[in-house]
A and B are shown apart, each in its own frame.
Chain A
């Protein structure tokens, strides 16, 4: 709102994480960021939903959300550890996200594990205890049901998610390069939140489309 606010729109940590001041980070002592990760405004990261530490005698904080290096959470992403009832009480389980993971705007993540080199589109739902392996592309608007398992090198789409295509072997390198580029470019335009423009300038402007995907697949609606 005020001009002063734009100065420190992002908090930059020692390991290079950039966290928007407008993001809602709860229970930060239970959140582990691997470094060079970016959290955009309006994201919600629920570190406060963790396994009760009183159960363990050590007393040290249990990481409930673990996010790897070069991850990128776009505007409005919700990261929430999954829970289930165990012996009559509600128990939260840790959520782990690998390296070079990009999550599109307004997606809701309650997965158990998301591997590395995963691209999740915007407006997706990843259900409780879902597992996404490495090198997976989740297209926009996909709903991954709870406890689902997405195999490596899959392209998933639809509600519920079904595997519609396979990624080439280069996808790990492509996703890594993409994550590094977004991090570098976001750094140069740190004051703004025009992340769509940043992404566009990385990919759309130069005709370097990432993969050939078949478009004639059938999506359950």
Chain B
């Protein structure tokens, strides 16, 4: 799962490519940029997409979707999401559900609560402010094990945070709708915090806006005096040279104030700073020191015990960070902005969503969670105490789920050692030595019920460090996936086959490959019912510590059976059965990161 693990195999999603074809004409959104004619591309000219090296365009096969209308891969970035259901992750209560059943109607989500409340669980789900675990209700009166009722308090099962240890002795008078009770408490907490301070956020803001209003007006007045031709403009105009004027103005403004500042405005004003340091470096260090000391005294005086209250005194007294909340704890409590860990209030639980996903080009639904059915994809019936009745808990089934792994072949890479004393492991981690031929088997599994024709293409040398790549068989066929159990037996037999190869060595295998069959089967290592293993070789170039990244173009062609359209054509059902053959093609780029070169 780590980023640097080799080998890694990623599929390229072309959604980052510009939406133009080779002639530069804008494409119709219905015919997507992702599906160029695959055979033409492969046979004529191999053009690497520019975003092939970009990590954001490369995905694991399991993270991709497939639009079976456009016949292209779709990644997280090129699908449109629609919220189908919102639920609480703690109690799994469903808050809103898409009630429309049709696949192509826009979803109508009914939502309970509004505004701020709509994103939180409004039942009893509160999170520990210290470690973000779900809090558990306890009743001080009830004995162990009996039902919680009456006045309750909250406790964290992980870090033993206790709501009674809050300075407000946080207890809840009812054991239901704790969220609403908490909201009342936190509102009063905010009011309490500012009760002893004359300088609330609102008064502070109005004072600031009044100041700037005044500044703006006086600037305008000065502007009109100095140059009448200039139009009146806001304080921070678009023109850059205006900022210089602004600074000049501010300077004069503050210097005017400076004389009387000592009594009325105790804050450090820019004027005082300017008067001390601003005069072209002509200030002696003695004078600066005097100034600094004077300012320090004034700053200390500024914390007025009567107006600022104990909070300011406490902040002044802080000598270590013990007992102060971490940044994530503070950010989770934005309204209270606690400076003490004991001031933290429980957090409401944010709702999670289940989302439907549509193709961005054709709006075809790719994923649609099943919200109507209560049948969970497994038989796990919840025996929990928190997950209440089955009717309103979240399910995990899907009604539509077009995953790319069911449409495009799965690729697997296996290292084949060339000499009989096989090394213990493939040289993925140990590194590759330049100018030595390494042989790999690339196995493709067909997930479709039709036989497919594969065309592989890769540049003869990797684009970055020109490591040599040779695919012995660019074109081959894979049989149909009939029984859909390839995952078990095919893989197990493949494993033993490759294990044998590792023992006997590649030398005799390649000899038999070249002498025996030849022709179209050259380079095909082995094949099963719905998989084929082909050989490719990599010769690393002498580029120290360079990564071997193989771009591989995979084009898939098959004939799908589609139901005959009897209304349009005059054909009867008697000749040729119910199905027509339709040729389908799709293609994608993949990136094989094999390892690093050592030298």
Show the binding face of A for B, using Cβ within 8 Å.
Answer: 68, 84-88, 94, 96, 98-99, 112-117, 127, 129, 131, 133-135, 143, 145-154, 160, 162-163, 168-174, 177, 180-181, 184-185, 188, 201-202, 204-213, 215, 218, 220
Q: Which of A68, A135, A163, A177 contacts B89 (CB 8 A)?
A: A163
Nearest residue in A to B594 (C-beta to C-beta)? A207
A114 and B60 alpha carbons, distance in the complex (Å): 26
Say which size band chain B's interface belongs to: 35 or more
Pair B159/A160 contact, Cβ less than 8 Å: yes
Q: What are the residues of chain A within 8 A of B380 when measuring CB–CB? A: 68, 96, 98, 113-116, 134
B9 pairs with A209, CB closer than 8 A: yes
Measured CA separation A145–B8 after assembly (Å):
34
Bound-state Cα–Cα, A156 to B425, Å = 31
Inter-subunit contact B9/A208 (CB<8 Å): yes
A212 in contact with B376 (CB, 8 Å): no
B89 touches A160 (CB 8 A): no
**Interfacial chain A residues near B90, Cβ < 8 Å:** 149
Number of cross-chain contacts by CB at 8 Å: 180
Say how far B378's CB is from chain A's closest CB, in angstroms: 3
The residue that B7 contacts in the complex, of A113, A148, A207, with Cβ under 8 A, is A207
Contact of A220 (CB < 8 Å), options: B1, B132, B134, B398: B132
Would you list which residues of chain B between 106 and 141 have a CB under 8 Å from chain A? 131-134, 136
* Contact, CB under 8 Å: A209 / B60: yes
The CB with the most chain A CB atoms within 10 A, among B87, B91, B384, B592, is that of B384
Contact with A along B70-104 (1 / 0, CB 8 A): 00000000000000000101111000000000000
Residues of chain B contacted by A181 (CB below 8 angstroms): 487-488, 491
Cα distance, A114 to B6, chains bound together (Å): 32
Q: B492 to A131, Cβ gap below 8 A?
A: no
* B129-170 with Cβ < 8 A to chain A: 131-134, 136, 144-146, 156-159
Q: Is the CB of A215 within 8 A of B89?
A: no
A133-B1 CB under 8 A given contacts A149-B89, A181-B488: no
Known: A147-B134, A148-B134. A131 touches B145 (CB 8 A): no
- The CA-CA distance from A212 to B1 in the complex, in Å, is 8
Q: Give A129 to B385 CA distance when docked, in angstroms.
A: 9
Q: Which of A99, A133, A185, A188 contacts B379 (CB 8 A)?
A: A99
Please tell me if the beta carbons of B159 and A129 are within 8 angstroms of each other in the complex: no
The one of A152, A154, A212 in contact with B59, judged by C-beta atoms closer than 8 angstroms, is: A212
- Residue numbers in A under 8 Å from B144 (CB-CB): 85-86, 88
Q: Mark B418-433, 1 if CB is under 8 A from A, else 0.
A: 0000000010000000
Task: Please choose the segment from B295-303, B311-319, B409-417 that sits at the chain A interface, where 4 or more of its residues have CB less than 8 A away.
Answer: B409-417
For this complex, 24 residue pairs linking A to B, each with C-beta atoms less than 8 Å apart, are: A87-B145, A96-B383, A98-B380, A112-B384, A112-B385, A113-B382, A116-B379, A127-B157, A127-B158, A134-B380, A145-B156, A145-B157, A149-B384, A153-B396, A154-B89, A160-B133, A162-B132, A163-B89, A170-B405, A206-B412, A207-B7, A207-B411, A207-B592, A209-B60
Residues on A with C-beta less than 8 A from B414 are 205-206
User: Could you tell me the dominant secondary structure of chain A's interface residues?
Assistant: loop
Residue contact B410 to A185, C-beta cutoff 8 Å: no
| B145 in contact with A170 (CB, 8 Å) | no
Q: Which of A129, A201, A213 contacts B384 (CB 8 A)?
A: A129
Q: Of residues B63, B352, B385, which shows the largest number of chain A Cβ atoms within 10 Å of its Cβ?
A: B63
Interface residues of B in 449-505 (CB under 8 A from A): 487-489, 491-492, 495-496
Would you list the 7 A-B pairs with minimal beta carbon distance, nearest first? A116-B378, A145-B158, A207-B9, A206-B412, A207-B7, A151-B89, A86-B145
Considering the chains assembled together, what is the distance between the CA atoms of A98 and B381 in angstroms?
9
Distance in angstroms from A88 CB to nearest chain B CB is 7
CB-nearest residue of chain A to B158: A145
Q: Is the CB of B158 within 8 A of A160?
A: yes
Contact A113 B384 (CB under 8 A): yes
CB atoms of A149 and B134 under 8 A apart:
yes
**By the criterion CB–CB under 8 Å, are B382 and A172 in contact?**
no
Given contacts A85-B144, A170-B62, 11 further A-B contacts (CB under 8 A): A98-B380, A112-B383, A113-B382, A145-B156, A180-B488, A205-B413, A207-B592, A207-B593, A209-B9, A215-B2, A218-B328
Name B1-55 residues within 8 Å CB distance of A: 1-3, 5-9
Query: Is A170 a contact partner of B403 (Cβ separation < 8 A)?
Result: yes
Q: Inside 8 A of A87's CB, which chain B residues have their CB?
A: 145-146
In the complex, are the beta carbons of A169 and B157 less than 8 A apart? no
B1 touches A209 (CB 8 A): yes
* Assembly CA distance A69 to B111 (angstroms): 38
The answer, among A168, A173, A204, for a CB contact under 8 Å with B5, is A204
With a cutoff of 8 Å between Cβ atoms, the chain A residues found around residue B91 in the complex are: 149
Distance (Å) between the CB of B379 and the closest chain A CB?
A: 7
Contact in complex: A149, B386 (CB < 8 Å)? yes
In the bound complex, do residue A207 and residue B145 qualify as a contact, i.e. CB atoms below 8 Å apart? no
Closest residue on chain A to residue B90 by CB atoms? A149
B312 to chain A, nearest CB (A): 31
Chain B nearest CB from A102 CB (Å) reads 14
Once bound together, how far apart are the Cα atoms of A98 and B62, in whole Å?
Answer: 22
Residue contact B378 to A134, C-beta cutoff 8 Å: yes
User: From A96, which residue of chain B is reached at the shortest CB distance?
Assistant: B383
The residues of A that contact B62 with a CB separation of less than 8 Å are 168, 170-171, 174, 210-211
User: Which chain A residue shows the least CB distance to B326?
Assistant: A220
CB of A211 within 8 A of CB of B7, answer no
- Chain A residues with CB under 8 A of B412: 206-208
Closest Cβ of chain A: how far from B212's Cβ, in Å? 38
Instruction: Indicate whether B578 reaches chain A with its CB closer than 8 angstroms.
Output: no
Let me know if A131 and B384 touch, CB within 8 A: yes
Bound-state CA distance A211–B89 (Å) is 22
Report which of B3, B379, B398, B413 forms a contact with A206, defined as CB distance below 8 A. Answer: B413
Complex-state Cα separation, A215 to B5, whole angstroms: 13
Specify the chain A residue showing the minimal Cβ separation from B384. Answer: A131
Q: Which residues of A contact B347 (CB under 8 A)?
A: none
- A99 in contact with B386 (CB, 8 Å): no
Question: Are the CB atoms of A134 and B376 closer together than 8 Å?
Answer: yes
Q: Is the CB of B492 within 8 A of A184?
A: yes
Residue of A nearest to B352 (CB): A151
B488-A188 in contact (CB<8A) = no
- How far does the Cβ of B365 sit from chain A's closest Cβ, in whole Å? 12
B367 in the interface, Cβ–Cβ < 8 Å?
yes
Task: Give the CA-CA distance A204 to B488 in the complex, in Å.
Answer: 17
* Closest chain B residue to A160, Cβ basis: B158
Q: Flag if A134 contacts B396 (CB, 8 Å).
A: yes
Q: Return chain A residues, CB-CB under 8 Å to B328.
A: 218
